[in-house]
Structure 1
Protein backbone atom coordinates (compact mmCIF):
# COMPACT_ATOMS: atom_id res chain seq x y z
CA UNK A 1 0.00 0.00 0.00
CA UNK A 2 1.37 3.42 -0.99
CA UNK A 3 0.82 6.39 1.33
CA UNK A 4 1.42 9.96 0.22
CA UNK A 5 2.26 11.64 3.53
CA UNK A 6 3.74 8.90 5.69
CA UNK A 7 5.76 5.72 5.54
CA UNK A 8 4.68 2.42 7.04
CA UNK A 9 7.15 -0.35 7.77
CA UNK A 10 6.63 -3.69 9.51
CA UNK A 11 9.62 -5.48 11.00
CA UNK A 12 8.50 -8.80 12.46
CA UNK A 13 6.05 -7.80 15.24
CA UNK A 14 6.63 -4.03 15.17
CA UNK A 15 4.95 -1.57 12.82
CA UNK A 16 6.34 1.96 12.48
CA UNK A 17 4.18 4.75 11.08
CA UNK A 18 6.34 7.76 10.26
CA UNK A 19 4.97 11.18 9.35
CA UNK A 20 6.87 12.20 6.23
CA UNK A 21 6.27 15.84 5.36
CA UNK A 22 9.36 17.39 6.96
CA UNK A 23 9.30 20.39 4.60
CA UNK A 24 6.09 21.58 6.32
CA UNK A 25 7.08 20.32 9.79
CA UNK A 26 4.77 17.33 9.31
CA UNK A 27 1.68 19.53 9.45
CA UNK A 28 -1.38 17.57 8.41
CA UNK A 29 -3.98 18.12 5.72
CA UNK A 30 -6.82 16.09 4.21
CA UNK A 31 -4.38 13.61 2.65
CA UNK A 32 -2.35 12.99 5.79
CA UNK A 33 -5.56 12.56 7.80
CA UNK A 34 -6.79 9.98 5.27
CA UNK A 35 -3.40 8.22 5.23
CA UNK A 36 -3.21 7.96 9.02
CA UNK A 37 -6.78 6.72 9.30
CA UNK A 38 -6.21 4.02 6.70
CA UNK A 39 -2.84 2.98 8.13
CA UNK A 40 -4.15 2.48 11.66
CA UNK A 41 -7.33 0.75 10.55
CA UNK A 42 -5.27 -1.72 8.52
CA UNK A 43 -2.74 -2.27 11.29
CA UNK A 44 -5.58 -2.96 13.71
CA UNK A 45 -6.64 -5.90 11.52
CA UNK A 46 -3.10 -7.31 11.30
CA UNK A 47 -2.76 -9.89 14.09
CA UNK A 48 0.96 -10.37 13.40
CA UNK A 49 1.65 -6.79 14.56
CA UNK A 50 2.15 -6.59 18.32
CA UNK A 51 3.05 -2.92 18.72
CA UNK A 52 2.99 0.30 16.71
CA UNK A 53 5.38 3.25 16.91
CA UNK A 54 4.17 6.65 15.65
CA UNK A 55 7.20 8.72 14.67
CA UNK A 56 8.14 11.58 12.34
CA UNK A 57 10.89 12.56 9.90
CA UNK A 58 12.64 15.89 10.25
CA UNK A 59 13.23 18.31 13.12
CA UNK A 60 9.54 18.65 14.10
CA UNK A 61 7.10 15.94 15.12
CA UNK A 62 3.96 17.76 13.96
CA UNK A 63 3.16 21.47 13.67
CA UNK A 64 -0.60 20.93 13.59
CA UNK A 65 -2.66 21.98 10.58
CA UNK A 66 -1.04 22.72 7.22
CA UNK A 67 -1.23 26.41 6.24
CA UNK A 68 -2.59 25.72 2.77
CA UNK A 69 -5.26 23.49 4.29
CA UNK A 70 -6.16 26.27 6.74
CA UNK A 71 -6.49 28.74 3.85
CA UNK A 72 -8.83 26.34 2.13
CA UNK A 73 -10.90 25.86 5.28
CA UNK A 74 -11.34 29.62 5.63
CA UNK A 75 -13.85 29.49 2.80
CA UNK A 76 -15.75 26.44 4.04
CA UNK A 77 -19.42 26.52 4.95
CA UNK A 78 -20.53 25.32 8.39
CA UNK A 79 -21.45 21.92 6.94
CA UNK A 80 -18.09 21.62 5.18
CA UNK A 81 -16.24 22.57 8.36
CA UNK A 82 -18.19 19.99 10.34
CA UNK A 83 -17.47 17.24 7.78
CA UNK A 84 -13.79 18.20 7.75
CA UNK A 85 -13.59 18.10 11.55
CA UNK A 86 -15.23 14.69 11.61
CA UNK A 87 -12.50 13.31 9.35
CA UNK A 88 -9.91 14.48 11.88
CA UNK A 89 -12.01 13.00 14.69
CA UNK A 90 -12.17 9.64 12.93
CA UNK A 91 -8.40 9.67 12.44
CA UNK A 92 -7.77 10.24 16.13
CA UNK A 93 -10.31 7.57 17.00
CA UNK A 94 -8.54 5.07 14.72
CA UNK A 95 -5.30 5.63 16.64
CA UNK A 96 -7.01 5.59 20.05
CA UNK A 97 -8.94 2.38 19.33
CA UNK A 98 -6.09 0.57 17.58
CA UNK A 99 -6.06 -2.86 19.28
CA UNK A 100 -2.28 -2.91 19.55
CA UNK A 101 -0.40 -0.58 21.91
CA UNK A 102 0.71 2.59 20.14
CA UNK A 103 3.88 4.36 21.27
CA UNK A 104 4.51 7.97 20.20
CA UNK A 105 8.19 8.81 19.68
CA UNK A 106 8.27 12.61 19.78
CA UNK A 107 11.64 13.74 18.46
CA UNK A 108 10.76 17.42 17.96
CA UNK A 109 8.19 20.15 18.44
CA UNK A 110 4.57 19.10 18.73
CA UNK A 111 1.90 21.76 18.32
CA UNK A 112 -1.89 22.03 18.18
CA UNK A 113 -3.37 19.03 16.34
CA UNK A 114 -0.04 17.26 16.68
CA UNK A 115 -0.72 17.08 20.39
CA UNK A 116 -3.95 15.30 19.56
CA UNK A 117 -2.00 12.66 17.64
CA UNK A 118 0.27 12.10 20.62
CA UNK A 119 -2.56 12.09 23.16
CA UNK A 120 -4.39 9.36 21.22
CA UNK A 121 -1.39 7.05 21.72
CA UNK A 122 -0.88 4.77 24.73
CA UNK A 123 2.72 5.57 25.61
CA UNK A 124 4.64 8.77 24.87
CA UNK A 125 8.42 9.15 24.88
CA UNK A 126 9.78 12.58 23.99
CA UNK A 127 13.14 14.13 23.36
CA UNK A 128 14.13 16.52 26.13
CA UNK A 129 14.51 19.25 23.50
CA UNK A 130 10.93 19.02 22.18
CA UNK A 131 8.43 21.78 22.80
CA UNK A 132 4.64 21.60 23.00
CA UNK A 133 1.86 24.11 22.40
CA UNK A 134 -1.92 24.20 22.14
CA UNK A 135 -1.96 27.34 20.02
CA UNK A 136 -5.56 27.35 18.75
CA UNK A 137 -6.88 30.34 20.71
CA UNK A 138 -4.17 32.55 19.20
CA UNK A 139 -5.96 32.01 15.89
CA UNK A 140 -9.44 32.51 17.30
CA UNK A 141 -10.06 28.77 17.39
CA UNK A 142 -10.36 26.09 20.08
CA UNK A 143 -8.75 22.61 20.30
CA UNK A 144 -12.16 20.97 20.17
CA UNK A 145 -11.60 17.83 18.11
CA UNK A 146 -8.44 16.83 19.96
CA UNK A 147 -9.81 17.77 23.38
CA UNK A 148 -11.16 14.32 24.44
CA UNK A 149 -7.68 12.85 24.11
CA UNK A 150 -5.61 15.80 25.32
CA UNK A 151 -7.72 16.32 28.44
CA UNK A 152 -7.45 12.60 29.28
CA UNK A 153 -3.69 12.78 28.79
CA UNK A 154 -2.85 15.93 30.76
CA UNK A 155 -5.88 16.28 33.05
CA UNK A 156 -8.44 19.06 33.32
CA UNK A 157 -6.31 21.36 35.44
CA UNK A 158 -3.39 21.50 33.01
CA UNK A 159 -5.73 21.60 30.01
CA UNK A 160 -7.51 24.60 31.47
CA UNK A 161 -4.24 26.50 31.59
CA UNK A 162 -2.73 25.52 28.25
CA UNK A 163 -5.99 25.65 26.28
CA UNK A 164 -6.49 29.23 27.49
CA UNK A 165 -2.98 30.66 27.41
CA UNK A 166 -1.64 28.97 24.25
CA UNK A 167 1.78 29.07 25.94
CA UNK A 168 4.58 27.02 24.51
CA UNK A 169 5.91 24.60 27.13
CA UNK A 170 8.89 22.30 27.39
CA UNK A 171 9.13 18.54 27.28
CA UNK A 172 9.99 18.65 30.97
CA UNK A 173 6.71 20.43 31.70
CA UNK A 174 4.83 17.97 29.45
CA UNK A 175 6.33 15.19 31.54
CA UNK A 176 5.46 16.90 34.82
CA UNK A 177 1.77 17.21 33.92
CA UNK A 178 1.61 13.63 32.68
CA UNK A 179 1.22 14.30 28.97
CA UNK A 180 4.57 12.60 28.28
CA UNK A 181 5.45 9.38 30.08
CA UNK A 182 9.21 9.57 29.70
CA UNK A 183 11.95 11.89 28.49
CA UNK A 184 15.17 10.95 26.75
CA UNK A 185 18.07 12.84 25.26
CA UNK A 186 17.79 13.11 21.47
CA UNK A 187 20.63 10.62 21.09
CA UNK A 188 18.95 8.10 23.41
CA UNK A 189 15.38 8.43 22.08
CA UNK A 190 15.59 5.53 19.62
CA UNK A 191 17.18 3.21 22.15
CA UNK A 192 14.62 3.98 24.86
CA UNK A 193 11.79 3.49 22.38
CA UNK A 194 13.24 0.12 21.40
CA UNK A 195 13.40 -0.91 25.06
CA UNK A 196 9.73 -0.10 25.57
CA UNK A 197 8.76 -1.91 22.38
CA UNK A 198 10.66 -4.98 23.60
CA UNK A 199 8.70 -4.87 26.85
CA UNK A 200 5.43 -4.69 24.92
CA UNK A 201 6.10 -7.54 22.49
CA UNK A 202 7.32 -10.00 25.14
CA UNK A 203 3.96 -9.90 26.93
CA UNK A 204 0.91 -11.94 26.01
CA UNK A 205 -0.56 -10.37 22.83
CA UNK A 206 -4.09 -11.11 23.98
CA UNK A 207 -3.51 -9.78 27.49
CA UNK A 208 -1.92 -6.57 26.18
CA UNK A 209 -4.92 -5.90 23.95
CA UNK A 210 -7.36 -6.68 26.75
CA UNK A 211 -5.41 -4.53 29.22
CA UNK A 212 -5.58 -1.59 26.79
CA UNK A 213 -9.35 -2.04 26.54
CA UNK A 214 -9.58 -2.35 30.32
CA UNK A 215 -7.99 1.06 30.90
CA UNK A 216 -10.19 2.68 28.27
CA UNK A 217 -13.45 1.19 29.54
CA UNK A 218 -12.88 1.17 33.32
CA UNK A 219 -10.97 4.44 33.78
CA UNK A 220 -13.14 7.13 35.34
CA UNK A 221 -16.05 4.78 36.10
CA UNK A 222 -17.67 4.88 39.54
CA UNK A 223 -17.00 1.77 41.64
CA UNK A 224 -20.46 0.21 41.47
CA UNK A 225 -21.68 -3.36 41.81
CA UNK A 226 -21.98 -3.46 38.04
CA UNK A 227 -18.32 -2.46 37.63
CA UNK A 228 -17.22 -5.10 40.14
CA UNK A 229 -19.15 -7.74 38.21
CA UNK A 230 -17.71 -6.51 34.93
CA UNK A 231 -14.08 -6.65 36.11
CA UNK A 232 -14.64 -10.07 37.72
CA UNK A 233 -15.99 -11.34 34.39
CA UNK A 234 -12.98 -9.93 32.55
CA UNK A 235 -10.45 -11.75 34.74
CA UNK A 236 -12.47 -14.95 34.70
CA UNK A 237 -12.63 -14.84 30.91
CA UNK A 238 -8.92 -14.25 30.40
CA UNK A 239 -7.92 -16.85 32.99
CA UNK A 240 -9.78 -19.43 30.94
CA UNK A 241 -8.32 -18.21 27.64
CA UNK A 242 -5.59 -20.11 25.81
CA UNK A 243 -2.91 -17.50 26.51
CA UNK A 244 -4.11 -17.05 30.09
CA UNK A 245 -3.71 -20.75 30.80
CA UNK A 246 -0.39 -20.91 28.96
CA UNK A 247 0.98 -17.88 30.78
CA UNK A 248 0.21 -19.22 34.24
CA UNK A 249 1.39 -22.73 33.36
CA UNK A 250 4.68 -21.51 31.89
CA UNK A 251 5.29 -19.42 34.99
CA UNK A 252 4.70 -22.40 37.27
CA UNK A 253 6.91 -24.59 35.09
CA UNK A 254 9.60 -21.91 34.91
CA UNK A 255 9.71 -21.82 31.10
CA UNK A 256 9.01 -19.29 28.39
CA UNK A 257 5.37 -19.00 27.27
CA UNK A 258 4.65 -20.20 23.75
CA UNK A 259 4.13 -16.67 22.38
CA UNK A 260 7.87 -16.11 22.82
CA UNK A 261 8.85 -19.20 20.85
Structure 2
Protein backbone atom coordinates (compact mmCIF):
# COMPACT_ATOMS: atom_id res chain seq x y z
CA UNK A 1 0.00 0.00 0.00
CA UNK A 2 1.28 3.46 -0.90
CA UNK A 3 0.76 5.40 2.32
CA UNK A 4 -0.11 9.09 2.10
CA UNK A 5 -0.51 10.03 5.77
CA UNK A 6 1.89 7.72 7.61
CA UNK A 7 5.28 6.07 7.09
CA UNK A 8 6.10 2.45 7.93
CA UNK A 9 9.84 1.82 8.00
CA UNK A 10 12.33 -0.58 9.54
CA UNK A 11 14.93 0.54 12.07
CA UNK A 12 16.42 -2.95 11.88
CA UNK A 13 15.36 -6.48 11.02
CA UNK A 14 13.47 -6.73 14.30
CA UNK A 15 12.21 -3.18 14.86
CA UNK A 16 9.54 -1.41 12.79
CA UNK A 17 8.71 2.29 13.03
CA UNK A 18 5.30 3.80 12.39
CA UNK A 19 5.30 7.57 11.94
CA UNK A 20 2.24 9.79 11.78
CA UNK A 21 3.22 12.01 8.87
CA UNK A 22 0.96 15.04 8.65
CA UNK A 23 3.03 17.59 10.58
CA UNK A 24 1.25 20.52 8.94
CA UNK A 25 -1.87 19.64 10.98
CA UNK A 26 -0.06 18.17 13.99
CA UNK A 27 -0.52 14.58 12.75
CA UNK A 28 -4.26 14.69 13.29
CA UNK A 29 -6.36 11.56 12.80
CA UNK A 30 -8.91 11.07 10.03
CA UNK A 31 -10.60 8.14 8.32
CA UNK A 32 -7.74 7.95 5.81
CA UNK A 33 -5.14 7.94 8.58
CA UNK A 34 -7.13 5.27 10.38
CA UNK A 35 -7.29 3.06 7.29
CA UNK A 36 -3.57 3.39 6.65
CA UNK A 37 -2.65 2.73 10.29
CA UNK A 38 -4.78 -0.42 10.36
CA UNK A 39 -3.17 -1.67 7.15
CA UNK A 40 0.30 -1.01 8.58
CA UNK A 41 -0.55 -2.76 11.85
CA UNK A 42 -1.71 -5.84 9.97
CA UNK A 43 1.61 -5.92 8.10
CA UNK A 44 3.60 -5.61 11.32
CA UNK A 45 1.51 -8.27 13.05
CA UNK A 46 2.15 -10.70 10.19
CA UNK A 47 5.92 -10.16 10.20
CA UNK A 48 7.46 -12.86 12.35
CA UNK A 49 10.79 -11.02 12.51
CA UNK A 50 9.44 -7.88 14.16
CA UNK A 51 9.56 -7.75 17.94
CA UNK A 52 8.99 -4.04 18.56
CA UNK A 53 7.05 -1.24 16.89
CA UNK A 54 8.04 2.36 17.59
CA UNK A 55 5.11 4.77 17.25
CA UNK A 56 5.93 8.45 16.80
CA UNK A 57 4.96 11.66 15.03
CA UNK A 58 6.68 13.77 12.41
CA UNK A 59 7.58 17.33 13.30
CA UNK A 60 6.95 19.02 16.63
CA UNK A 61 3.74 17.17 17.59
CA UNK A 62 2.94 13.55 18.31
CA UNK A 63 -0.78 13.68 17.51
CA UNK A 64 -3.42 16.37 17.97
CA UNK A 65 -6.40 14.01 17.92
CA UNK A 66 -9.15 14.31 15.33
CA UNK A 67 -8.72 16.23 12.08
CA UNK A 68 -10.99 19.28 12.36
CA UNK A 69 -11.89 19.22 8.65
CA UNK A 70 -13.03 15.62 9.05
CA UNK A 71 -15.00 16.61 12.16
CA UNK A 72 -16.80 19.29 10.16
CA UNK A 73 -18.03 16.68 7.68
CA UNK A 74 -19.30 14.55 10.56
CA UNK A 75 -21.61 17.39 11.64
CA UNK A 76 -23.64 16.98 8.44
CA UNK A 77 -23.93 13.20 8.69
CA UNK A 78 -26.77 11.13 10.07
CA UNK A 79 -26.40 9.05 13.20
CA UNK A 80 -25.90 5.75 11.34
CA UNK A 81 -23.08 7.18 9.23
CA UNK A 82 -21.43 8.70 12.29
CA UNK A 83 -21.42 5.31 13.96
CA UNK A 84 -20.09 3.65 10.80
CA UNK A 85 -17.24 6.17 10.62
CA UNK A 86 -16.43 5.82 14.31
CA UNK A 87 -16.17 2.03 14.38
CA UNK A 88 -12.92 1.82 12.35
CA UNK A 89 -11.28 4.17 14.85
CA UNK A 90 -12.45 1.95 17.72
CA UNK A 91 -11.03 -1.03 15.82
CA UNK A 92 -7.72 0.80 15.36
CA UNK A 93 -7.21 1.24 19.10
CA UNK A 94 -8.19 -2.38 19.72
CA UNK A 95 -5.73 -3.60 17.09
CA UNK A 96 -2.93 -1.49 18.56
CA UNK A 97 -3.75 -2.85 22.00
CA UNK A 98 -3.72 -6.47 20.79
CA UNK A 99 -0.72 -6.23 18.46
CA UNK A 100 1.52 -9.23 19.31
CA UNK A 101 4.59 -6.97 19.43
CA UNK A 102 5.89 -4.47 21.96
CA UNK A 103 4.57 -1.02 21.04
CA UNK A 104 6.99 1.68 22.18
CA UNK A 105 5.56 5.18 22.15
CA UNK A 106 8.12 7.80 21.16
CA UNK A 107 6.09 10.84 22.20
CA UNK A 108 7.98 13.65 20.51
CA UNK A 109 5.55 16.47 21.32
CA UNK A 110 1.98 17.35 22.29
CA UNK A 111 -0.49 14.46 22.45
CA UNK A 112 -4.12 15.51 22.76
CA UNK A 113 -7.47 13.81 22.27
CA UNK A 114 -6.84 10.73 20.15
CA UNK A 115 -3.11 11.32 20.58
CA UNK A 116 -3.62 10.91 24.33
CA UNK A 117 -5.41 7.65 23.53
CA UNK A 118 -2.57 6.44 21.31
CA UNK A 119 -0.21 7.10 24.21
CA UNK A 120 -2.37 4.90 26.43
CA UNK A 121 -2.25 1.88 24.10
CA UNK A 122 1.56 1.83 24.00
CA UNK A 123 3.24 -0.87 26.08
CA UNK A 124 6.17 1.41 26.89
CA UNK A 125 5.96 5.21 26.68
CA UNK A 126 9.06 7.39 26.34
CA UNK A 127 8.18 11.08 26.13
CA UNK A 128 10.12 14.17 25.26
CA UNK A 129 10.31 16.71 28.05
CA UNK A 130 8.51 19.07 25.64
CA UNK A 131 5.45 16.82 25.39
CA UNK A 132 2.10 17.92 26.81
CA UNK A 133 -1.04 15.86 27.20
CA UNK A 134 -4.75 16.59 27.38
CA UNK A 135 -8.10 14.90 26.89
CA UNK A 136 -9.54 17.80 24.92
CA UNK A 137 -12.80 16.25 23.68
CA UNK A 138 -15.03 18.02 26.22
CA UNK A 139 -13.77 21.39 24.94
CA UNK A 140 -15.42 20.50 21.63
CA UNK A 141 -18.64 19.28 23.22
CA UNK A 142 -17.60 15.67 22.59
CA UNK A 143 -16.51 12.69 24.69
CA UNK A 144 -13.31 10.60 24.62
CA UNK A 145 -15.34 7.62 23.51
CA UNK A 146 -13.14 5.29 21.46
CA UNK A 147 -10.12 5.92 23.64
CA UNK A 148 -12.04 5.83 26.93
CA UNK A 149 -11.46 2.16 27.83
CA UNK A 150 -7.71 2.51 27.31
CA UNK A 151 -7.43 5.81 29.17
CA UNK A 152 -9.32 4.44 32.18
CA UNK A 153 -7.20 1.30 32.20
CA UNK A 154 -3.93 3.20 31.94
CA UNK A 155 -4.70 5.93 34.48
CA UNK A 156 -7.36 4.33 36.67
CA UNK A 157 -10.93 5.59 36.82
CA UNK A 158 -10.35 8.46 39.25
CA UNK A 159 -7.56 10.03 37.22
CA UNK A 160 -9.33 9.38 33.92
CA UNK A 161 -12.30 11.31 35.29
CA UNK A 162 -10.14 14.13 36.56
CA UNK A 163 -8.41 14.71 33.24
CA UNK A 164 -11.39 13.89 31.03
CA UNK A 165 -13.78 16.12 32.96
CA UNK A 166 -11.45 19.13 33.10
CA UNK A 167 -9.54 18.86 29.80
CA UNK A 168 -6.53 20.24 31.66
CA UNK A 169 -3.06 20.01 30.15
CA UNK A 170 -0.29 18.16 31.96
CA UNK A 171 3.41 18.27 31.22
CA UNK A 172 5.69 15.29 30.68
CA UNK A 173 6.92 15.14 34.26
CA UNK A 174 3.39 15.06 35.66
CA UNK A 175 2.43 12.48 33.04
CA UNK A 176 5.26 10.32 34.33
CA UNK A 177 4.10 10.72 37.92
CA UNK A 178 0.57 9.52 37.13
CA UNK A 179 1.71 6.59 35.01
CA UNK A 180 0.71 7.88 31.59
CA UNK A 181 4.39 8.06 30.65
CA UNK A 182 7.06 5.57 31.70
CA UNK A 183 10.11 7.68 31.02
CA UNK A 184 10.92 11.30 30.17
CA UNK A 185 13.96 12.39 28.16
CA UNK A 186 15.21 15.66 26.76
CA UNK A 187 14.64 16.08 23.00
CA UNK A 188 18.33 15.36 22.37
CA UNK A 189 18.20 12.17 24.44
CA UNK A 190 14.81 10.89 23.26
CA UNK A 191 16.16 8.51 20.63
CA UNK A 192 18.80 7.03 22.93
CA UNK A 193 16.15 6.46 25.60
CA UNK A 194 13.94 4.68 23.06
CA UNK A 195 16.94 2.62 21.93
CA UNK A 196 17.52 1.44 25.49
CA UNK A 197 13.93 0.19 25.67
CA UNK A 198 14.34 -1.53 22.30
CA UNK A 199 17.48 -3.31 23.53
CA UNK A 200 15.48 -4.80 26.39
CA UNK A 201 12.82 -6.06 23.99
CA UNK A 202 15.43 -7.61 21.70
CA UNK A 203 16.62 -9.78 24.57
CA UNK A 204 13.23 -11.56 24.54
CA UNK A 205 11.79 -14.14 22.12
CA UNK A 206 8.90 -13.19 19.84
CA UNK A 207 6.71 -15.98 21.19
CA UNK A 208 7.05 -14.84 24.80
CA UNK A 209 6.29 -11.24 23.86
CA UNK A 210 3.10 -12.23 22.07
CA UNK A 211 1.99 -14.71 24.74
CA UNK A 212 2.67 -12.32 27.62
CA UNK A 213 0.77 -9.47 26.00
CA UNK A 214 -2.17 -11.77 25.25
CA UNK A 215 -2.19 -13.07 28.82
CA UNK A 216 -2.34 -9.59 30.34
CA UNK A 217 -5.16 -8.59 27.98
CA UNK A 218 -7.10 -11.77 28.73
CA UNK A 219 -6.89 -11.59 32.54
CA UNK A 220 -7.41 -7.84 32.97
CA UNK A 221 -10.62 -7.16 34.85
CA UNK A 222 -11.22 -10.79 35.78
CA UNK A 223 -11.09 -12.01 39.40
CA UNK A 224 -7.83 -13.93 39.97
CA UNK A 225 -9.69 -17.10 40.95
CA UNK A 226 -11.47 -17.14 37.60
CA UNK A 227 -8.09 -17.02 35.85
CA UNK A 228 -6.73 -20.10 37.62
CA UNK A 229 -7.25 -22.65 34.86
CA UNK A 230 -6.43 -20.21 32.08
CA UNK A 231 -3.10 -19.17 33.60
CA UNK A 232 -2.10 -22.76 34.40
CA UNK A 233 -2.77 -23.75 30.79
CA UNK A 234 -0.90 -20.70 29.48
CA UNK A 235 2.17 -21.65 31.49
CA UNK A 236 1.93 -25.28 30.38
CA UNK A 237 1.76 -24.13 26.76
CA UNK A 238 4.83 -21.94 27.24
CA UNK A 239 6.83 -24.83 28.69
CA UNK A 240 6.24 -26.77 25.47
CA UNK A 241 7.84 -24.15 23.21
CA UNK A 242 11.37 -24.33 21.78
CA UNK A 243 11.97 -20.90 23.31
CA UNK A 244 11.44 -22.29 26.81
CA UNK A 245 13.93 -25.09 26.19
CA UNK A 246 16.48 -22.60 24.84
CA UNK A 247 15.87 -20.09 27.62
CA UNK A 248 16.40 -22.63 30.39
CA UNK A 249 19.45 -24.10 28.66
CA UNK A 250 20.98 -20.65 28.21
CA UNK A 251 20.34 -19.75 31.85
CA UNK A 252 21.88 -22.97 33.14
CA UNK A 253 24.76 -22.70 30.69
CA UNK A 254 25.39 -19.07 31.65
CA UNK A 255 25.28 -17.94 28.03
CA UNK A 256 23.08 -15.59 26.00
CA UNK A 257 19.95 -17.15 24.56
CA UNK A 258 20.00 -17.71 20.81
CA UNK A 259 17.24 -15.19 20.18
CA UNK A 260 19.11 -12.20 21.64
CA UNK A 261 20.05 -9.73 18.93
CA UNK A 262 21.55 -6.25 18.71
CA UNK A 263 19.35 -3.28 17.92
CA UNK A 264 21.22 -2.38 14.73
Name the TM-score class by shorter chain: over 0.9
The runs of at least 4 consecutive aligned structure 1 residues that moved more than 4 Å come to: none
Q: TM-score scaled to structure 1, two decimals?
A: 0.97
2:229 match: 229
1:170 match: 171
**Are the aligned partners of 2:98 and 2:213 in contact in 1 as well (CA < 8 Å)?**
no
Deviation at 1:189, TM superposition (A): 0.7
In the alignment, structure 1 residue 136 sits paired with structure 2 residue 137:
yes
SS in 2 for 1:4: coil
- For residues 44 and 33 of structure 2, the distance between their equivalents in structure 1, rounded to whole angstroms, comes to 16
Q: Deviations over 1:104-141 (max 9, x none)?
A: 10010000011111211211111112100111111111
SS in 2 for 1:259: coil
SS in 2 for 1:94: helix
2:6 match: 6
2:207 match: 206
**Unaligned ranges ≥5, structure 2:** none
Query: What RMSD, in angstroms, separates the aligned Cα atoms of the two structures?
Result: 1.1
- For residues 209 and 125 of structure 1, the distance between their equivalents in structure 2, rounded to whole angstroms, comes to 21
SS in 1 for 2:127: strand
- For residues 222 and 19 of structure 1, the distance between their equivalents in structure 2, rounded to whole angstroms, comes to 38
Report the number of matched residues: 260
**Unaligned ranges ≥5, structure 1:** none
Q: Deviations over 1:183-216 (max 9, x none)?
A: 1111111000011011101112211111111211
- For residues 205 and 87 of structure 2, the distance between their equivalents in structure 1, rounded to whole angstroms, comes to 34
Q: Deviations over 1:47-104 (max 9, x none)?
A: 0111100011100100111111111111111001101110110111111111111111
1:85 match: 86
- For residues 218 and 188 of structure 1, the distance between their equivalents in structure 2, rounded to whole angstroms, comes to 35
Q: TM-score scaled to structure 2, two decimals?
A: 0.95
**Are the aligned partners of 2:56 and 2:106 in contact in 1 as well (CA < 8 Å)?**
yes
**Are the aligned partners of 2:5 and 2:21 in contact in 1 as well (CA < 8 Å)?**
yes
Higher RCO (Cα < 8 Å, 6 or more apart) = 2
- For residues 109 and 194 of structure 1, the distance between their equivalents in structure 2, rounded to whole angstroms, comes to 21
Deviation at 1:5, TM superposition (A): 0.4
Deviation at 1:219, TM superposition (A): 2.5
